[in-house]
Structure formats: structure tokens, C-alpha cells
């Protein structure tokens, strides 16, 4: 039996699920990257940066779970294997710098990734705002988190 919550969507649901899986993949990669950075970042000014990376990792992990949940609500299948994240992500994974003291590069690369997220989620929100209010509501909340992350990273750069 088809879910009423799917029937009311005025979009190609398969395409929407594909977009949500792109978001899921990107959030999984971001969560991993931030967790990794939180463990390897070193130097005199690294304490605050490490704390921010740790918080951002947890936030991205929650976003990934929210996208998984929405995909299931749409009778779709979330990406089943983490090794497929790079292939399906809307953004390119940035390898962390080899130098654990290169905090500026860590932050600049992260800032670039957050900005890609802002553009992707803004486009996804525009696509869903009148056609799928449930997804639009989810996306606008995550978009707000990504804008906040951009602000945090810019502040870290200015220190």
C-alpha cells in the first residue's frame, strides 16, 4: 500500500530519493572527515578547533540519520554501504592535509565543503518547498546548520 505522505508529493519521488541519498553520502563523508580532523589536529591553537570539529562531526552524523529516515518514509532505500558515499555524494571528498599542524588548510577545506552544502541544500529546498513540505522542512533546518557551520569556520580563520 502506497503511503499518503508519498502520494501528496508533487515531484518525481525517485529523483528526490536520489537527491536525498546524495545528501546522506555527503553528510556521512563530512561526519567522518570532521571526526578524523578532531583526532589529528595539532598545535598551540588546536584545542578550540578540535572541539568544533568534534561538534560538527556529531551534527553531520545526525543530518545523515535524518536523511536516511526521510528516504525510508518515501519508500526508498538509503545507501547501504559507506564505501559508496564518495560515488553518490554531491560534493568531492577532500582528503585531510598530511600535516596535522596545518589547521588553516583544515579549516579552509572544511569551509569550502560547507559552502557546497549551502548551495546544494538551498537548491533542494527551492525544489521541494511547494512540492514536498516535509522534505523542505528537514532541508531548511539542515541548511541553517550549514550556514552556522560556515560562520564558525570563518571565525576560526580570523583567530
pLDDT tens per residue across span 88-132: 999 999 999 999 999 999 999 999 999 999 999 999 999 999 999
Q: Rounded to whole angstroms, how far apart are CA atoms 126 and 110? A: 24
Computed on alpha carbons and rounded to an integer, the radius of gyration of the chain in Å comes to 17
State the residue range of the domain holding 108.
18-157
Does residue 12 fall inside a structural domain? no
pLDDT, tens digit, 9 for 90 and up, residues 63-83: 999 999 999 999 999 999 999
CATH no. for residue 93?
Answer: 1.20.1260.10
Instruction: Check whether 148 has a pLDDT greater than 70.
Output: yes
Q: How many domains does the chain have?
A: 1
Contact between 53 and 151 under an 8 Å Cβ cutoff? The reply is: no
7, part of any domain: no
pLDDT of 2: 74
Mean pLDDT in residue range 44-65: 96
Residue 2 placed within a domain: no
- pLDDT score for 1: 62
How far is it, in rounded angstroms, from Cα 125 to Cα 121? 6
Amino acid at each position: 500500500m502506497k503511503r499518503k505522505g508519498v502520494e501528496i508529493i508533487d515531484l518525481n519521488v525517485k529523483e528526490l530519493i536520489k537527491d536525498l541519498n546524495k545528501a546522506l553520502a555527503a553528510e556521512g563523508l563530512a561526519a567522518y572527515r570532521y571526526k578524523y580532523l578532531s583526532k589529528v589536529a595539532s598545535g598551540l591553537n588546536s584545542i578550540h578547533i578540535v572541539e568544533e570539529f568534534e561538534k560538527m562531526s556529531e551534527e553531520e552524523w545526525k543530518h545523515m540519520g535524518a536523511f536516511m529516515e526521510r528516504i525510508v518514509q518515501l519508500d526508498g532505500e538509503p545507501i547501504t554501504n559507506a564505501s559508496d558515499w564518495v560515488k553518490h555524494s554531491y560534493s568531492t571528498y577532500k582528503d585531510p592535509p598530511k600535516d596535522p599542524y596545518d589547521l588553516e588548510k583544515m579549516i579552509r577545506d572544511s569551509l569550502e565543503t560547507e559552502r557546497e552544502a549551502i548551495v546544494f541544500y538551498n537548491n533542494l529546498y527551492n525544489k521541494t518547498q511547494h512540492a514536498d513540505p516535509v522534505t523542505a522542512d528537514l532541508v531548511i533546518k539542515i541548511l541553517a546548520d550549514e550556514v552556522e557551520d560556515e560562520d564558525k569556520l570563518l571565525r576560526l580563520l580570523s583567530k
